[in-house]
Chains A and B, each alone.
Chain A
Amino acid sequence: MSAVTAAKTAAPTTPTTSGGGVPARPRRKRVPALWKHKALYLMAVPGILYFILFKYAPMGGLVIAFQDYLPFLGIGGSPWVGFDHFVRFFSEDTFYVLLRNTLMISLGMLIFAFPVPVILALLLNEVRTKWFQRSIQSVVYLPHFLSWVIVVSIFYVLLTTDGGSVNNLLVSWGFDPVPFLTDPDWLRPMYIFQEIWKGAGWGTIVYLAAMTAVDVQLYEASELDGAGRMRQAWHITLPAIRPTIIVMFILAIGDFLELGFEHMFLVMNSLNRDVADIFDTYVYTAGIENGQLSYAAAVGLFKGLVGLVLVVFANRLAKRFGEEGVY
């Protein structure tokens, strides 16, 4: 495993390690239980191997965060520097800029993007004509299968002030052109809108699946009591999918600092960098472009740790409110 992939994969893998301990059982019972279910355990072997090989083993590469790593010296030969890279990172102005940008966008995502699939799923659930519901579903899934490069390119063509359709329309209505792509104030709305456009339809799948499990008798009973469609959605459907929403919310919290490199990297440019630079893009510029692999690994590790803490915290919170949580 190369240092680069280790640095990159380190962060995403960290939150998933929080699998929690196996509940303690009396020792003598464990071995027979293992033997009894050997077929099941055997089936789990490929999955476990996958995690060990591709998720845990590369984490060894994280040690470069505590070294002055140079590729030609290797992990064995590079000098150890302790927490120097972390100290440098936390004492630089960039840290606060990155933290602010990441938090602002993550908050925006939670507030604006997270509820959209829920609402969309509720709406779809109310559509009674099956073929219509199906076709709408397929149409809203589609953007999920487009890569970010394509999504951002489509928006580029629509939004550019040098002949983009949206701006042409604005100008023909007598407004001034709006520099959506370069104005720092437009970056966050545009980013979140693109996330919603691409992901909302796909996000409905989980909720729609949860809704199919709702007991039909509940709806029938409520109808007898004179509940309308709105009341049914509010008092039956929503409470029924609440555990699902909470699990999705915890997962979203875990990804709080994990906005994804590709999307931001594509919409970022010189003029909006002040609000667009996030941890993921910074790891790339510092690590790959500037060759400071150790420093980038330190930043990535920090981000991963924060993600881990957030997941544990959100899970605790969910349990305190009497919900199931993810583990």
Chain B
Amino acid sequence: MRKNLFAKGAAAAAVAALALTACGSDGSGDDDGAAGGPITWMATLHTPVTPDEDGPIQTALEKHTGEDFKVQWVPAASSAEKLNAALSSGALADMVSMAPVDSSTVRQSLTSGMFWDVEPYLKDFPNLAEIDPQTLDAARLDGKLYGVPFQKIKARYGVVVRQDWLDHLGLEVPHTIEDLEKVAVAFTKDDPDGNGKDDTTGFIDREESFDLGFRSLSGYFGAGDDFEVDDAGQVRSTLDGDAFKQAMEWYRGVYEQGAVNQEFVTMQKTNQQDAIARGKGGIVVTGLFEAKGYLALAQDADPETPMKWALVNDMTSGDVPRRILTDTAGGLGGWLSFPKSEVKDEAELQRVLGFADKLLDEEAFGLMTNGVEGTHYSQDADGVVTIEDQTAWEQEVQPYSSSRLSEKVVTYKSTEPYVDEGNEKMLENEQYAVVNPTQSLSSEAYDRQWTTVHDAAKDAYNKYVVGQIEMADYEAAIEKLRGQGLGDIEQELTAAYAEVNG
């Protein structure tokens, strides 16, 4: 019942906005005043705290953009449900953050014709005109751009290794898969923390191994990002490609030597961080920005912690040239989309796009990244940013940082250890990034079946690594999935690929 009221309210607001913006453009030709009522924004919340509507960041952003806006925060965990509910009740906002990128709900909604194709308008706005072309490519669905892409760094992953453990054992930082295995085993067997107990392991992996950690490792072996296109133009899943299987065999070997935490299949992210902070393991395949967090956690527990990290972004295997799988779908974090039901005409679209464009200004980016100078952070003569009030930053600024339309407007220098190094190495990664060649193609079978196929493959992978099944069983499982949708997906994508590139 409340939703109806809300829908009516939103509709009324939209009508009012329409009338008023129309007036604005008739009159002075300047329609960016706050005349049209606040812009509403359905944004994803990745932090536990919802920021205050009159908080310093929102106030400052309103001042900078010259627009009133209201954010409806949707917790990331329930975003799919909320999106479904909002779509079916028509209770959408002027701007809707659409993520995750591979969600079939998101993709189906975007291509349903409910949202504006924004591509023709981008060139009119200074920041929107400069979006990375590879990211734009990734963001198009069937050749149309149904929203402003959230830009991320294309490949943030790498391998982080406990430098102090390496030093203690007299080992070098590993840059090849072969050395990585040796280090992992040494971390397991040779008591790298010197406490005389057999209580350490190499890799600390977690439940999402198949989606994150191992996936990134498989890239070093030459596996593609979900799909590959062969010389004949056939689209094939990487799931039973040779490189992927080789990576699985390697990882199982490491697991059998005890050099991966044995119950990674049940380990959640926070448990993983906790295990790393307590020195249970010394190798993590993760975003290169994570080392700072691990150190902070370890220091919380023990201010004297000897923890030091080596950040490796150039891992290679055999004669496979350096490469890294994108962990952000080619720098795409989602879409900021504008429903036609709320944004009624081009004038209104210009207004919300103008607002989005201003959010990409350095000043707005700074507000959403660091907060207000003097309140949340300080900056010295070299441009080094120090967060002064961590609690205030977490409550007032951090929620906005995941709603930034781009992560890479400015790279701030930091006094925090590993931040500058991580940023630098992630940028180095960009030129080696491997992106799924079929990402912007659409396939009905993909939308309908991919999640099921993916989940089943993930189960088979987990069973293989812990030794419940053998490689032949894994291959059989993937072959079975071919009959249950994966085959259709490959066929449809091959056809779509030929149409676009042929």
Contacts and interface: CB of A to CB of B under 8 A. Distances in A.
A291 interface: yes
Interface of A: 2-5, 70-74, 156, 160-163, 179, 181-182, 269-271, 273, 285-286, 288-293
A36 B283 CA distance: 78
Contacts of A291: 80, 84, 103-105, 108, 447, 451
B458 interface: yes
A73 B112 CA distance: 9
A161 B263 contact: yes
B108 A289 contact: no
B193 to A, nearest CB: 15
A182 B263 contact: yes
Given A2-B88, A270-B458, A291-B104, A72 B109 contact: yes
A4 B265 contact: no
Which 5 pairs from chain A and chain B are nearest by CB? A270-B462, A71-B87, A2-B85, A71-B88, A291-B105
A288 B81 contact: yes
Q: Which applies to chain B's interface (DSSP): helix, strand, loop or mixed?
A: helix
A71 B263 contact: no
A270 B262 contact: no
16 contacts: A2-B3, A2-B85, A2-B88, A3-B88, A70-B108, A74-B88, A161-B262, A162-B261, A181-B266, A269-B265, A270-B459, A270-B461, A270-B462, A271-B468, A289-B451, A290-B104
Given A269-B265, A271-B459, 10 more contacts: A2-B88, A3-B84, A3-B85, A5-B85, A182-B466, A270-B265, A271-B463, A286-B452, A291-B103, A292-B448
A271 B112 contact: no
A74 B466 CA distance: 44
B455 interface: yes
B89 interface: yes
Contacts of B84: 2-4, 71, 288, 291, 293
A293 B83 CA distance: 13
Interface string B241-270: 000000000000000000001110111000
B240 interface: no
B183 to A, nearest CB: 20
A271 B109 contact: no
Contacts of A286: 452
A161 B459 CA distance: 20
Interface in B61-100: 80-81, 84-85, 87-90
A162 B112 contact: no
Nearest to A183: B468
A269 B458 CA distance: 10
A94 to B, nearest CB: 10
B228 to A, nearest CB: 24
Contacts of B103: 291
B195 to A, nearest CB: 14
Contacts of B448: 290, 292
B88 A72 contact: yes
Given A72-B114, A162-B261, A291-B103, A269 B81 contact: no
A320 B261 CA distance: 57
Contacts of A181: 263, 266
